[in-house]
Amino acid sequence: MDHGERLAKVEVAVDEHKERMERIECDIGRIYASIDSLRVHTDKGFAELRDHTDKGLADLRKHTDHGLAELRTHTDQGLAEIRLELQRSIRWLIGVTFANGIAIVGLAGKISGLY
């Protein structure tokens, strides 16, 4: 093989490598475009997920606050009923104590012959 043939062979190989490099650069460009498209899609998906999660948490917070308010109202009403019943029981207990005291005084008076 002489120098001219080798040079021609090397030039053909260089041209093939240039074509491959052009195809690789084109592929790299498409890959970067796909990556950018995926990044936009992923960012949009994360934003939607964040919005959905924030809305869900806000709804849960609202529901929890409403439930706690109802529970507080119900508890306050129950405690008010308990206080009223306690007042009635204390009045009844005081009345029974006075009645027993009067009965004991009366019984002591009867026994000692005061009347």
Domain ranges in the chain are 1-83
Contacts for 85-93: CB closer than 8 Å, 24+ residues apart:
none
The percent of the chain in helix, strand and coil, each rounded to the nearest 5, is 95, 0, 5
Structure tokens at 65: 């606050």
Share of the chain above pLDDT 90, in %: 83
Q: Please, what sign has the CA dihedral across residues 106, 107, 110, 113?
A: negative
pLDDT tens, position by position, 29-73: 999 999 999 999 999 999 999 999 999 999 999 999 999 999 999
Ranking 3-17, 62-76, 94-108 by mean pLDDT, the lowest is 3-17
Calculate mean pLDDT across residues 72-98.
Answer: 96
1 band by pLDDT with thresholds 50, 70 and 90: low
- The pLDDT, as a whole number, for residue 3 is 79
Calculate mean pLDDT across residues 81-102.
Answer: 96
Residue 112 CA from chain centroid, whole number: 77
103: how many CB neighbours lie within 10 A of its CB?
A: 10
Structure tokens at 68: 């706690």
